[in-house]
A and B are shown apart, each in its own frame.
Chain A
Amino acid sequence: MIGLLKGMATTMKHALDGKTFTVEYPETAPEVSPRFRGVHKFSQERCIWCRQCENVCPNDTIQIVMDDQRNGEQYNLHIGQCIYCRLCEEVCPVDAILLTQNFEFTADTKDEFAYNKEQLKNVPWYKGIDPLNSRNPDRDAWIGEGDGEVDYQ
């Protein structure tokens, strides 16, 4: 009997302290880590069309189309198929593709998730966090010396 009463006392304690653990989601947007990996942001100005991201992608999410002079024409990324492993960002030598913290994306059909380079460019920062800053300390290990300022717009 004591055990049963202890259990009931525990739940009653939780009921009476009035604290809640859940949050009201759209009103209270969650704090996400700067390392969080959300929808990609792409900068054509920075991209050198080396196709490393396309090669490293584990499930062929990135598709790059180039003309015969090896100039980039299309950069397509299916954000509904992506597994958000961040390998593309990791191999990119010029920080042309970054994963923002933006995790809120919706579409009516799956096809709408196939983003082209314009759509990828227009992906907003989440709460204005530029993930590059927070990831910078360790990026040198991957991409060598960066050249400072990055402009994605």
Chain B
Amino acid sequence: MTLKLGVPSKGRLMEKTFDWFGARGIGLSKAGSEREYSGRVEGLEDCALVLLPASEIPRELEQGRIHLGVTGTDLVRERLAHWDQSVKELTPLGFGHADLILAVPRGWVDVDTLDDLDAVAAAFRRRHGHRLRIATKYHRLVRDYLREQGVADYLLVDSQGATEGTVANRTAEAIADITSSGETLRANHLKIIGGAPILRSQAALFQSRGADWGTAERGVLERMLGALRLAG
């Protein structure tokens, strides 16, 4: 039996993950040609590398089709209901940093806190006859956060890309999105509100709780954690 490790299949996230494991004595690489989505593992026996789009790794972990996986904490928390019941975060990897933030037009000089956003949402609904729209692709994270904070009278509208443009296009009044730099926000006349971000995300190594954990897989995991100098 082998332990399956899921890793993002391309881009900087893949390279940085390879580097991170490589620095700890576990060599990960793509097998064969660059286009092939299977991989090789050196320095750790009975471990198979599975290359997957980062966004599919949470679901594969939840289904138990991979034992371990590297992906963003934002994706895990957004894609998996009660994420901590289906996966366990073993360690953050120190790269892939991104914050999920709430932003409103910079011209809303009266809005800086969630108190303000909530008060404006109430007034906006009275004035415009519909709830204040927040464009995002992180529905679960944003909804949970706003419920926790007691914000009402808003509506989440789905935006899978170019989210910063929705306000100027008048399909939303505010946005919630991942931002690693504030430049796109500034260019679109938006500003961040609410102090701390909704989530500080980075790449992390996750363990599936639902995968088949026999003696063999647990043995491989222990050897891997030893190499990574992590307690099990």
Query: Do A and B truly interact?
Result: no
- Which positions in A face B, CB cutoff 8 Å? none
- Which positions in B face A, CB cutoff 8 Å? none
